[in-house]
Structure 1
Amino acid sequence: MSVSEGRKAYDGEGGRGSGGAGGRGPRGRGGERGPGRRRREQDGGRAVDAARLPEELRALGRSLDAAEGAEGSLGSETMVERVLGQILAEQLPVPVAEPRGARERLRAVRRWTRLRWRSLTATLCGLLTVLTLTPPVRAAVYDWFDFGGVEVRYDPSAVPSPGAEVPGCGRSVSWAQAVRRAGFEPLVPDALGTPDAVSVTEGPSGRALVGLCWRERGGTVRLDEFAAGLDLAFTKTVREQPEWISLSGAEAGGANDIALWFPRPHLLRFWLVDADGERYRHEERTAGPTLLWTREAGVAEVTLRLEGVESKARALEIARSLPELVAESGTDSIADSITDSLTGSSGAPSE
């Protein structure tokens, strides 16, 4: 039996009534309705019906799509066309992905954290180590140099330029000029003797940095001195922390008994700070091993910085050879001897 048998006619099929061509009446399809026709369908008619099956199915779908008793173009619309038309008519909104809420973002962060917890833990441990170890050392330096003259900071990435040498004092001035411009009597270690050159670097608000230089074994040994009230900040970046040394050899000593030894070359930056707290960079240069310590000079306290000495033992020998406080007459004799050495036989100071 054909799929089209027993259904109502639809528009466009042409005269498929009882009298039309190919009609479905008692005599349609040749007018034979008996067992003979059924046998022919079983034998050869099946190929014809199979070829017409797609067309029959499409016709059946159109007849089912049409409403009961509908006429015209509505009967020719497919189910898909009707659905699309209804969507367009109702203007249904197209689904759009909404932004994730705070809870969803929090879950995403938690997932990301779980996947990377090892690297995050290592980073956090390193940060805690830096915060734990560095501030106490820096605070100790602040406590030692409580006048604010020296500030020490550490930077593991700091590498001085190769072949750097300790700078000399440059243009030398007389001892009297150095004392007058610095505002204090510079200290001269007995282990080094009379300096070959003396320089004074002017700072803000009349403050000054005194530099004493000696030529030793083809190199320069430099001793920088500045008063306790100097608002000059040394910012050091070194590859390792300094070694704390007692100048007297005692286990516990005062501030003037402590020295800091920096065994490796480091980067040195001078910063000047004015009365308003504004900081200005004064100089930047490379430096070698350095010894830092303080010493009282009369009513003032002086910070000393020694560089150009490779041996720690030699540096400590120089620091310990500073003369004790002497009477005014003794100070005058020391100044006279240094002045004679700097001026030379001509008696005129080198400018």
Structure 2
Amino acid sequence: MTDPLIRDLRALGDHLPSPEPTAALTAAVLARVATEPVPVKAGRIRRLVAWARARWRALVSLLTGLVLVGALTPPVRAAVAEWFGIGAVEVRTTTGAAPPTAPPPTIEGGVTLEEARELVRFDVVVPSALGAPSQVGVSADRMVVSMAWPGVRLDQVGARLAPYFVKTVYDEVEFTMVDGDEALWLPSPHEIVVQSPGGAQRAEPARLAGRTLIWQTGNVTLRLEGDLDRARAVEIAESAR
């Protein structure tokens, strides 16, 4: 007859994913094991099996928790966001002091909102919480529509495989929600560059960006930048129609 402990552990292993263990995960397991009593002296193997059987529920819970923790803890989630980004925006983290706050740049070569909608191949939205924009522009490659209000800028990027904006942040990335979908909140000033479709940085230099909310609507990526707190940024994003 199969030992119940072995049967249950095998069943658990068949249904759980097996990600590559990280240094942090290994350290957590070793720290937890170190707190448990260890059988010693004669009959070590027999005592170890008995000890494991007595604690099999705790061991199963520990293994399950360690496998699932990567999907729950903010540092790991931030690493996932850094790797995949959101839509056309890629976020990279670094160490050091955050740069000084800079206001959003003005928009060059302005067009009307109607002209912008005719120039691009995606739906352009306007946040009703901000009203009509004071400036509207379209990038030379017709991939980005930018809008400006006093102290606030909104960029909308059409679908593409490679990142369009690459952001280097000096603070922890925060997760929030916009209309029920996950979004990223960058709470401190950071550098931003524009990439070509092949992944090379474009000729224009990196610039500083302020607090920024990043989210997606369908196949369009949006980034709202300005002197806003997270609650106000989400409110503006959810009013975009």
- Please say whether Structure 1 and Structure 2 have the same fold, judged by a TM-score greater than 0.5: yes
Q: Say whether the 8 Å CA contact 2:211–2:226 is kept in structure 1.
A: yes
Residue 115 of structure 2: aligned partner: 177
Quickly say closer, same or farther: Cα 1:230–1:278, change in 2 above 3 A.
closer
Over the aligned positions, Cα root-mean-square deviation in angstroms equals: 2.8
Q: Per-residue displacement from partner, 1:15-52 (whole Å, max 9, x unpaired)?
A: xxxxxxxxxxxxxxxxxxxxxxxxxxxxxxxxxxxxxx
Hey, what's the Cα distance between the residues in 2 that align with 1:281 and 1:184?
23
Q: Please, which of 186, 189, 199 is the counterpart of residue 265 of structure 1?
A: 189
- Aligned residue for 1:139, secondary structure, equals helix
Q: Which amino acid aligns with 1:240?
A: D
1:139 maps to 2:74: no
1:285 maps to 2:215: no
Q: Please, which of 319, 325, 341 is the counterpart of residue 237 of structure 2?
A: 319
Query: Following TM superposition, by how much is the alpha carbon of 1:192 offset from its aligned partner in structure 2, in angstroms?
Result: 0.7
Residue 40 of structure 1: aligned partner: none
Query: Following TM superposition, by how much is the alpha carbon of 1:214 offset from its aligned partner in structure 2, in angstroms?
Result: 0.8
Quickly say closer, same or farther: Cα 1:279–1:158, change in 2 above 3 A.
farther
Q: Please, which of 192, 197, 206 is the counterpart of residue 135 of structure 2?
A: 197
1:241 maps to 2:172: yes
Residue 38 of structure 2: aligned partner: none
Hey, what's the Cα distance between the residues in 2 that align with 1:282 and 1:294?
27
Q: Say whether the 8 Å CA contact 2:82–2:93 is kept in structure 1.
A: no
The percent identity for this pair of structures is: 38
Q: Say whether the 8 Å CA contact 2:107–2:146 is kept in structure 1.
A: yes
Q: Which amino acid aligns with 2:217?
A: R
Larger RCO, structure (CA 8 Å, separation 6 or more): 2
Q: Which amino acid aligns with 2:202?
A: R
Residue 157 of structure 1: aligned partner: 96
Point out where structure 2 has 5 or more consecutive residues left out of the alignment.
1-22, 28-69
Query: Following TM superposition, by how much is the alpha carbon of 1:288 offset from its aligned partner in structure 2, in angstroms?
Result: 0.7
Quickly say closer, same or farther: Cα 1:144–1:155, change in 2 above 3 A.
closer
Hey, what's the Cα distance between the residues in 2 that align with 1:163 and 1:309?
9
Hey, what's the Cα distance between the residues in 2 that align with 1:234 and 1:208?
11
Number of aligned positions between the proteins? 172
Q: Say whether the 8 Å CA contact 1:199–1:211 is kept in structure 2.
A: yes
| Higher helix content, 1 or 2 | 1
Hey, what's the Cα distance between the residues in 2 that align with 1:295 and 1:176?
20
Point out where structure 1 has 5 or more consecutive residues left out of the alignment.
1-124, 324-351
Hey, what's the Cα distance between the residues in 2 that align with 1:247 and 1:141?
19
Q: Which amino acid aligns with 2:193?
A: R
Query: Following TM superposition, by how much is the alpha carbon of 1:292 offset from its aligned partner in structure 2, in angstroms?
Result: 0.4
